[in-house]
Amino acid sequence: MTQAQAGWYADPWQQPGQPPAVRWWDGAQWTSRAQLAAPPGATAYQKPAPTTPDGAVLAGWWPRVGAVLLDGLILLPVFVLVSLPFWGDLADAYGDWWREFTDALDAGTDPPSGAELQDRLSSTLLALGLVSAAVNLVYYVAFLAWKRATPGKMIVGIRVRRRESDDLPLSTILVRWVATYGPYLLALVLVALVDSTLGALTGLITWLGQIYLLVDGAWPLWDPRRQALHDKAARTNVVVRAR
């Protein structure tokens, strides 16, 4: 095999009784990446699983979604705890606005508007959003730097790597996080800074931030390299973990 080009070949480490498998030859040596071959006697062409340039099998979309949901469940109690200091401010702002609203109705005067309530809540909601983002950043960066996978990804058996090489430097991790959550956080800050009387504009900014998260998450469905937008920015791929 010393002259063979990189590619999938019959697994030379195949054990008797095991189903037929193929193993990735990187052009110089056999790697640990292997997958089942086409079943014996299959007549239809079976397209091989998409891989990185050096043969790591790309993760499917559903495992990625499952990992995101699992990470969300893991982080939920942490988010609840870090939000505790803000609950009092939110309750006070809502309570004061409601009292002024009902008093105005009883007095026959103009009640405070929803824009006024948004003004009172904006700084607290922004602080809460930034603290939650900081927790997410620590969680994401720490686990990717340590294991190249968050707990959710480890559970479903996938991990993150650079597309062209099997490593994941800290700079790549940070770019990947910013490309994932940066636009949404920017929208959150803009909504807090924009005059609340411009309701249509603040609504549009919020909508754009949420749409970006949805489009980014769905992008691997049609991308030939199975990359989300944040993967493209960081030049990464999510791959199946070697067993």
Would residue 155 count as lying in a domain? Answer: yes
Q: How far is CA 46 from CA 18, 50, 59, 134, in A?
A: 20, 12, 18, 45
Query: In terms of domains, do 199 and 142 share one?
Result: yes
Query: In terms of domains, do 146 and 78 share one?
Result: yes
Would residue 131 count as lying in a domain? Answer: yes
Q: How would residue 43 be classed by pLDDT, with cut points 50, 70 and 90?
A: very low
Would residue 232 count as lying in a domain? Answer: yes
- Whether 235 has a pLDDT exceeding 80, the answer reads yes
| Percent of the chain residues topping a pLDDT of 90 | 44
Average pLDDT over residues 142-170: 96
Average pLDDT over residues 134-138: 95
DSSP state of 51: B
The pTM for the full model equals 0.74
Regarding predicted confidence, which is higher, 159 or 120? 159
End-to-end CA distance of the chain: give it in Å, rounded: 24
Average pLDDT over residues 13-33: 79
Q: Residue 26 has what pLDDT?
A: 76
What are 171-199's pLDDT values in tens digits? 999 999 999 999 888 887 777 776 555 55
What residue numbers bound the domain in which 33 lies? 1-48
For the chain, how many structural domains are there in total? 2
How many CA atoms lie within 13 Å of 85's alpha carbon, on the beta-carbon side? 8
Query: In terms of domains, do 93 and 206 share one?
Result: yes
The token duo for 118 is 């948004």
Nearest-10 crossing angle of helices 114-147, 170-193:
180
Query: In terms of domains, do 77 and 7 share one?
Result: no
- Whether 229 has a pLDDT exceeding 90, the answer reads yes
Would residue 25 count as lying in a domain? Answer: yes
What is the radius of gyration, based on Cα positions, of the chain? 25
Q: How far is CA 234 from CA 57, 67, 179, in A?
A: 18, 19, 8
Would residue 204 count as lying in a domain? Answer: yes
Task: Provide the greatest CA pair distance for the chain.
Answer: 91
Q: Residue 2 has what pLDDT?
A: 60
